[in-house]
Amino acid sequence: MTEVLRPFLGKFLVVYFNDVLIHSHTKDEHLDHLRQVLTILRTERLFTNLKKCSFLQPEVLFLGFIISVNGIFADPEKVKAIHAWPTPTTLSEARSFHGLATFYRRFIKGFSSIMAPITNCLKKGDFHWTTSATRAFEDIKKRMTEAPILCHPDLSKVFEVACDASGIGIGGVLSQETQ
Protein backbone atom coordinates (compact mmCIF):
# COMPACT_ATOMS: atom_id res chain seq x y z
CA MET A 1 0.00 0.00 0.00
CA THR A 2 2.76 2.42 0.94
CA GLU A 3 4.60 1.87 -2.33
CA VAL A 4 1.48 2.36 -4.44
CA LEU A 5 0.62 5.61 -2.65
CA ARG A 6 4.21 6.91 -2.39
CA PRO A 7 3.59 9.88 -4.76
CA PHE A 8 1.15 11.33 -2.18
CA LEU A 9 3.10 10.63 1.03
CA GLY A 10 4.10 13.77 2.86
CA LYS A 11 1.84 15.85 0.64
CA PHE A 12 -1.69 14.99 1.73
CA LEU A 13 -1.58 11.36 2.77
CA VAL A 14 -0.41 9.18 5.66
CA VAL A 15 -0.27 5.38 5.39
CA TYR A 16 0.17 2.89 8.22
CA PHE A 17 -0.11 -0.66 6.86
CA ASN A 18 -3.64 -0.62 5.41
CA ASP A 19 -4.86 2.49 7.25
CA VAL A 20 -4.87 5.60 5.07
CA LEU A 21 -5.45 9.19 6.17
CA ILE A 22 -6.04 11.89 3.57
CA HIS A 23 -5.86 15.47 4.83
CA SER A 24 -6.75 18.62 2.93
CA HIS A 25 -7.32 22.33 3.47
CA THR A 26 -10.64 22.66 1.64
CA LYS A 27 -13.55 20.48 0.59
CA ASP A 28 -12.70 20.84 -3.12
CA GLU A 29 -9.07 19.99 -2.46
CA HIS A 30 -10.15 16.98 -0.40
CA LEU A 31 -12.41 15.70 -3.17
CA ASP A 32 -9.50 16.02 -5.61
CA HIS A 33 -7.18 14.14 -3.22
CA LEU A 34 -9.78 11.40 -2.78
CA ARG A 35 -10.15 11.09 -6.54
CA GLN A 36 -6.39 10.77 -7.02
CA VAL A 37 -6.04 8.12 -4.30
CA LEU A 38 -9.08 6.09 -5.35
CA THR A 39 -7.97 6.21 -8.99
CA ILE A 40 -4.53 4.81 -8.23
CA LEU A 41 -6.02 2.15 -5.93
CA ARG A 42 -8.40 1.07 -8.69
CA THR A 43 -5.55 1.02 -11.24
CA GLU A 44 -3.52 -1.21 -8.92
CA ARG A 45 -6.59 -3.38 -8.21
CA LEU A 46 -6.60 -2.51 -4.51
CA PHE A 47 -9.99 -2.12 -2.89
CA THR A 48 -11.40 -0.26 0.09
CA ASN A 49 -14.01 -1.49 2.52
CA LEU A 50 -16.53 1.35 2.44
CA LYS A 51 -17.88 0.30 5.86
CA LYS A 52 -14.49 1.19 7.33
CA CYS A 53 -14.14 4.49 5.44
CA SER A 54 -15.01 7.98 6.59
CA PHE A 55 -15.09 10.77 4.04
CA LEU A 56 -15.07 14.56 4.46
CA GLN A 57 -14.71 14.42 8.24
CA PRO A 58 -13.43 17.41 10.25
CA GLU A 59 -12.11 15.02 12.92
CA VAL A 60 -11.07 11.35 12.81
CA LEU A 61 -9.73 8.70 15.15
CA PHE A 62 -6.51 7.46 13.53
CA LEU A 63 -4.08 5.04 15.17
CA GLY A 64 -5.11 6.00 18.70
CA PHE A 65 -5.10 9.74 18.10
CA ILE A 66 -7.84 12.23 17.33
CA ILE A 67 -6.75 14.23 14.29
CA SER A 68 -8.60 17.47 13.61
CA VAL A 69 -8.06 20.89 12.11
CA ASN A 70 -7.17 22.08 15.64
CA GLY A 71 -4.38 19.54 16.10
CA ILE A 72 -3.67 16.06 17.42
CA PHE A 73 -4.74 14.77 20.80
CA ALA A 74 -4.88 11.47 22.63
CA ASP A 75 -7.95 9.28 22.18
CA PRO A 76 -10.20 10.27 25.12
CA GLU A 77 -11.11 6.61 25.69
CA LYS A 78 -7.43 5.73 26.15
CA VAL A 79 -6.95 8.71 28.47
CA LYS A 80 -9.88 7.44 30.58
CA ALA A 81 -8.32 3.97 30.64
CA ILE A 82 -5.00 5.37 31.84
CA HIS A 83 -6.67 7.55 34.46
CA ALA A 84 -8.75 4.63 35.80
CA TRP A 85 -5.82 2.17 35.80
CA PRO A 86 -5.37 0.56 39.22
CA THR A 87 -1.93 0.52 40.80
CA PRO A 88 -0.04 -2.43 39.28
CA THR A 89 0.54 -5.39 41.57
CA THR A 90 2.26 -7.68 39.07
CA LEU A 91 4.98 -7.37 36.47
CA SER A 92 2.43 -8.01 33.72
CA GLU A 93 0.16 -5.19 34.94
CA ALA A 94 3.12 -2.81 35.21
CA ARG A 95 4.25 -3.69 31.67
CA SER A 96 0.74 -3.14 30.31
CA PHE A 97 0.48 0.30 31.90
CA HIS A 98 4.00 1.17 30.78
CA GLY A 99 3.19 0.20 27.19
CA LEU A 100 -0.04 2.18 27.00
CA ALA A 101 1.44 5.26 28.67
CA THR A 102 4.54 5.11 26.47
CA PHE A 103 2.34 5.15 23.36
CA TYR A 104 1.22 8.65 24.41
CA ARG A 105 4.64 9.86 25.64
CA ARG A 106 4.73 12.72 23.12
CA PHE A 107 2.06 14.51 25.16
CA ILE A 108 4.09 14.56 28.39
CA LYS A 109 7.19 16.70 28.72
CA GLY A 110 10.00 14.76 30.41
CA PHE A 111 8.12 11.47 30.04
CA SER A 112 11.17 9.18 30.24
CA SER A 113 12.44 10.81 33.42
CA ILE A 114 9.01 10.71 35.06
CA MET A 115 8.51 7.08 34.00
CA ALA A 116 12.00 5.95 35.14
CA PRO A 117 10.88 4.51 38.52
CA ILE A 118 8.26 2.37 36.75
CA THR A 119 10.77 1.35 34.08
CA ASN A 120 13.13 0.23 36.86
CA CYS A 121 10.39 -2.06 38.22
CA LEU A 122 10.29 -3.88 34.86
CA LYS A 123 13.87 -5.12 35.05
CA LYS A 124 14.67 -8.81 35.44
CA GLY A 125 14.34 -10.32 38.87
CA ASP A 126 11.58 -10.19 41.43
CA PHE A 127 8.88 -7.61 40.80
CA HIS A 128 8.93 -4.89 43.45
CA TRP A 129 6.67 -1.86 43.11
CA THR A 130 8.24 1.08 44.93
CA THR A 131 6.86 4.27 46.44
CA SER A 132 8.70 6.23 43.75
CA ALA A 133 6.95 4.04 41.14
CA THR A 134 3.62 4.91 42.76
CA ARG A 135 4.43 8.63 42.60
CA ALA A 136 5.44 8.28 38.93
CA PHE A 137 2.30 6.25 38.20
CA GLU A 138 0.03 8.92 39.70
CA ASP A 139 1.99 11.72 38.00
CA ILE A 140 1.69 10.11 34.55
CA LYS A 141 -2.06 9.55 35.06
CA LYS A 142 -2.54 13.18 36.11
CA ARG A 143 -0.48 14.55 33.23
CA MET A 144 -2.40 12.45 30.69
CA THR A 145 -5.65 14.10 31.76
CA GLU A 146 -4.00 17.50 31.22
CA ALA A 147 -2.27 16.54 27.97
CA PRO A 148 -1.92 19.35 25.43
CA ILE A 149 -3.17 19.34 21.87
CA LEU A 150 -0.24 18.96 19.50
CA CYS A 151 -0.40 21.51 16.69
CA HIS A 152 0.05 20.75 13.04
CA PRO A 153 3.27 22.19 11.61
CA ASP A 154 3.15 25.44 9.67
CA LEU A 155 5.65 24.90 6.87
CA SER A 156 5.97 28.65 6.36
CA LYS A 157 7.47 29.09 9.86
CA VAL A 158 10.88 28.23 11.26
CA PHE A 159 11.22 24.99 13.23
CA GLU A 160 13.13 24.88 16.51
CA VAL A 161 14.71 21.80 18.09
CA ALA A 162 15.34 21.56 21.81
CA CYS A 163 16.91 18.59 23.53
CA ASP A 164 18.00 17.61 27.00
CA ALA A 165 19.51 14.60 28.70
CA SER A 166 20.18 13.35 32.19
CA GLY A 167 21.39 10.17 33.80
CA ILE A 168 17.92 8.62 33.46
CA GLY A 169 16.40 10.14 30.35
CA ILE A 170 16.88 11.87 27.05
CA GLY A 171 14.36 13.91 25.18
CA GLY A 172 13.79 16.32 22.39
CA VAL A 173 11.05 18.47 21.01
CA LEU A 174 10.43 19.98 17.60
CA SER A 175 8.45 23.19 17.91
CA GLN A 176 7.49 26.38 16.16
CA GLU A 177 6.72 29.90 17.26
CA THR A 178 3.14 30.02 18.46
CA GLN A 179 0.62 32.69 17.61
**Nearest in space to 111 (alpha carbons), one of 98, 129, 94:** 98
Q: Confidence band (pLDDT; 50, 70, 90) for 79?
A: very high
Instruction: Give the chain's count of helices (H) and strands (E).
Output: 5, 7
3-state secondary structure of 171: strand
pTM of the full structure:
0.78
Structure-model confidence comparison of residues 140 and 166, the more confident one: 140
Instruction: Compute the mean pLDDT over every residue in the chain, rounded to the nearest whole number.
Output: 91
User: What pLDDT is stored for residue 177 in this prediction?
Assistant: 78
Cβ atoms 86, 96 nearer than 8 A: no
User: What pLDDT is stored for residue 178 in this prediction?
Assistant: 66
Q: Confidence band (pLDDT; 50, 70, 90) for 163?
A: confident
* Alpha helices (H) along 88-154: 91-103, 111-121, 131-145
Q: What percent of the chain has pLDDT over 70?
A: 99
Q: Please tell me the distance from the alpha carbon of residue 145 to that of residue 66, in angstroms, as a whole number.
A: 15
Other residues' Cβ atoms within 10 Å of the Cβ of residue 76: 11
User: What pLDDT is stored for residue 66 in this prediction?
Assistant: 95
Angle at 43 between CA 42 and CA 47, to 5 degrees: 30
Cβ atoms 45, 37 nearer than 8 A: no
Compute the residue count for the chain: 179
Mean pLDDT over residues 94-118, rounded?
A: 94
Cβ atoms 147, 79 nearer than 8 A: yes
User: What pLDDT is stored for residue 179 in this prediction?
Assistant: 45
Q: What percent of the chain has pLDDT over 90?
A: 68
